[in-house]
Amino acid sequence: MRCSSTMLLAFVAPLLLLLPFTLAVKREDFKECAQTSFCRRLRSLAGRQESAPQGTFHSPYSLSDPVAVTNEGGSWTWPLRSELYPSVRFELRVDVLAEGDGIVRVRVDEVGSTTPFKRYNETAKWALLTPNPATSSAATLKSSSGKSVITYGPSSSHLSLEIAHSPLKITQLRKGKPEIVFNERSLFHMEHFRVKEIEKIEENVGGEGEQMVLKGGEMDRSWFEESDADMFQEKWKQWTDSKPKGPEGFSLDLTFPGVEHVYGLPEHASPLSLPDTTGPKAYYTEPYRLFNVDIFEYLADSPMSLYGAIPLLHAHSKSHSVGVLNLVASETWVDVRHDSDAVRTHWVSESGILDVLLLPGPKPEQLFEQYAVLTGPTPLPPQWSTAYHQCRWNYNDEEDVLEVDRRFDEADIPLDVTWLDIEYADEHRYFDWNAKFFPDPVRMLDAVASKGRKMVAIVDPHIKRTDSFRIYSDAKDLDVLIKKADGTNFEGWCWTGSSVWVDFFNENSWAWWTKMFDLKTWKESTNALFIWNDMNEPSVFDGPEISMPRDNLHAGGWEHRDVHNINGMMFHNQTSQALIAREDPAKRPFVLSRSFFAGSHRYGAIWTGDNMGDWEHLAGETAMLLSNNIAGMVFSGADVGGFFGNPTPELLVRWYQAGAFMPFFRAHAHIDTKRREPYLSDEPFRGYLRDIIRLRYTLLPVWYNAFHDASLRGLPIMRPQYAVFPEDNQGFSVDDQYYVGESGLLVKPVTTEGATTTQVYISDAQPYYDYFTHRLYPASAHQTLTLHTPLETFPLLVQGGSILPIRARVRRSSPLMWQDPFTLVIALSKQGSASGQLYLDDGVTFAHQKGEYIWKKFSFESGVLRSTNVHPAGEVVEKGVAPYDPEGNSWAQSIGHVKVEEIVVLGLKSKPKSVKVRGEEVEWKWTDGVSSSGKKEGGASELKIKNPGVGVVYDWAVEIA
């Protein structure tokens, strides 16, 4: 959310001057690389390297030869030196991890500094499942003059790491072919800790100022390392960054030989296949910036920072995929350049150690799994959170909330969650309801919950600085607030006015924050209320770049510059843990966050922030969400309708069609926009909106399957073309269509005004079926289909070979559907076969972790449709049910009566003679796709089997002869 003229009246006059009023991003509020001293210095390395005469520019870093190496069983450590600073000591450590089929970790840190400082080295503590994953004792090292070679990974992968000693260069190879090269361009550099040496320059043509000077007898380092006065103190606009540790930035170059596409680095409003930021083909003039900010109406196509930062990059070609995860939490800029032989990237960061993990692939699917090994998969969310959410800034009062709830029912539109933005809280003191407008929050929550629905209320990280507010007084007394550089509590301005921020890096805050959500503490809350963490970049209205000063201090003495990109994740994590702890037995939490980092997916969902309700932003959302998904942030979505603006009826319908196929499906709007709840639209638009929301509910089993796959293997829920068809180079740049998990559903939002036709690219040689009409598109690889897409429809195709479990009976909320029957839609492949799955559990508890679930595998082969039980160990449990509760109270038993009410088979070659279950004929109907006039209408043949008499819990077979 951002400001409006109405809400600004609530703030004191000085704050009015600090907040943006115009409906466009103010570029001048955010730095460019040249305005940031470390980026300016370190990015210039590439320019000096490219302009230097042949052989005069080289990496000053090397290992001694013969190599002095320490071996700790899959982990090796070498002394590393720089010829520029012989007295400064560095250390190179290489780990081959035990899990992940060949993940390698490369770390460099400064050691033995004569200053009292050290580099931030705790990013892995927060991002990874374990800060120091186990290493592989099977990895071996052989060293010779000038080179060390580590062999590792499964024998079939033929992986090796070649370390050139002088100058330092590290190459990951598969079968002797290089796939990732570190320091190929000699751009690796770590700015070591040093004492500031300055002299005054007498007033002259250039004016008076400070500069770094060389001591007598020191070598000239200007060919490699630049110096400037901003290394020890930096001013920008009215703010001064004290930089007490001086320069501590670092640069690295990573080259990906033989690839043409790189993906990742969310969050940016850019194409999925990242365009160049440097070189002759530069699409952007600035590098991709990773620095979480509260950006007002972000541009629809830009490398500017947004709300999240995941320093993960995938490099892909027809032959292989590899990835890198650069574990750095400070501000980072990344240049990308596509050359004829490789994609070359240059990363520069403000602080921290070098901690890079090399993911070997060799295909996208393995990259997703390897990233999940490191950071964990996305846990299963509450099932209801995958349904439809209705939000705006703001629903005014209890009456307004209940009126919205009622009108959804009247319009026959399902709804699971109603949201409250900042105005529910008295003076924006989160946890404190405004009693004038919400006199009985428990009554309101209970009324909503009576229909199976939930509510979400915002709890932002800024805490109103007033002793009468219990959250502030508690945090102050516990001494868990973020500090200024001088050690006093930091104060800034946000929605509450004068505010403070809890330091969630301080472990003393954790138990206290958990207690704040306890139902005995927050008595105006119930277990039907869930949480929205906004503004957690953090957003500080009167701070540099609308954020917190970099020299603020966190627990352990670390500066905010060191941990900035993790800050929002820490808030997200502790809020999620608090919701888990508030009930016994625990329920799955739902917490939405705006800021995120690598590992944030473990704690809940995110959304893409303050978008515009226009065609350009609608068109760009798919690529943004695909980028989030391949980087593990799968539970993500965009504000449907756009946060700002008043979309036309046509645009609103197209937004809903796109939103219904985002993992997180929420409509949201700014306080100054017109009310646009779907029931307010005139016909026929209201009907279109109702149909698309109901479609989401029909397909909820498909979405839950996809979330389940993500929870097991880290697989994306929105899968880009290159990830599904990694050998089809025609699809590598496609970022406006995608597949939903492994379901075979292919979606392409319509994002052009007035469009009545839309083109969809098909990679594989399988038939595709229109989900709505069952029209058949015959198998033909690498074809582009032109589909008829008037406003009431959009491209939604089913890939041949897929079986979709759906629930055709839509109720007013998804929890009310839990015992409803299923329909199976079978889209046959060119070979006449198909497969699919159905995963079910109670949707809210953690009982599934103890085996309380149903997971069925469906297969259609040689005219027989089978349902069989799936378990991780492969065993079949009695009656196809996950372990029974010995007391006879298992959830699985409670749905033993749930049936498959219909089976629809598309694409049979000929009309069957019989359809039998357990040897007995069942009711069926056949349509051959031919009209009464005998002409083909383009429809697939359709076999409908009504009430086959089979249940989802049991193993069974349907024979079609």
Residues annotated as catalytic (active site), given as ranges: 534, 537, 610
The rounded Cα 142 to chain-centroid distance in angstroms is: 39
Instruction: Give strand ranges (E) for 175-311.
Output: 177-182, 189-190, 198-200, 210-212, 234-236, 239-241, 250-257, 261-264, 288-290, 308-309
- Euclidean distance between CA atoms 7 and 1, whole angstroms: 12
Q: Describe the crossing of helices 441-449 and 398-410 by its angle, rounded to 10 degrees.
A: 10
Cross-strand bridge partners of residue 823: 806, 902
Q: What is the DSSP letter of 668?
A: -
Q: Where are the alpha helices (DSSP H) in 843-960?
A: 891-894
User: What single-letter DSSP state applies at residue 338?
Assistant: E
User: What is the distance of C-alpha 607 from the center of its chain?
Assistant: 9
Q: What does the block give as tokens for 497? A: 């006015």
Exposed / middle / buried, residue 648 (Cβ in 10 Å: 0-12, 13-18, 19+): middle
Q: How far apart are CA 695 and CA 714, in angstroms?
A: 26
Give the residue carrying structure tokens 């929420």: 666
Report the SS3 class of residue 312. Answer: strand
For 395, other C-beta atoms within 10 Å of its C-beta total 26
Instruction: Quote the CA–CA distance of 590 and 419 in Å, as a whole number.
Output: 12
The C-alpha atoms of residue 668 and residue 676 are separated, in whole angstroms, by: 9
Q: Which of 459, 429, 386 is nearest to 704 (CA)?
A: 386
Structure tokens that stand for 465 in this block: 């600085």
CB 325 within 8 A of CB 312: yes
- How far apart (Å, rounded) are the C-alpha atoms in residues 659 and 692? 9
Structural contact between residues 746 and 774, judged by C-beta atoms closer than 8 angstroms: no
Count Cβ atoms below 10 Å from residue 572 Cβ, excluding itself.
29
User: What are the backbone dihedrals phi and psi of residue 497, each rounded to the nearest 5 degrees, phi first?
Assistant: 90, -135
Query: How many Å is the Cα radius of gyration of the chain?
Result: 29
Give the span between the Cα atoms of 556 and 503, in whole angstroms: 11
CA–CA gap between residue 160 and residue 549 (Å, rounded): 43
Distance (Å) of CA 371 to CA 337, 359, 461? 24, 8, 29
Q: How far apart are CA 806 and CA 545, in angstroms?
A: 47
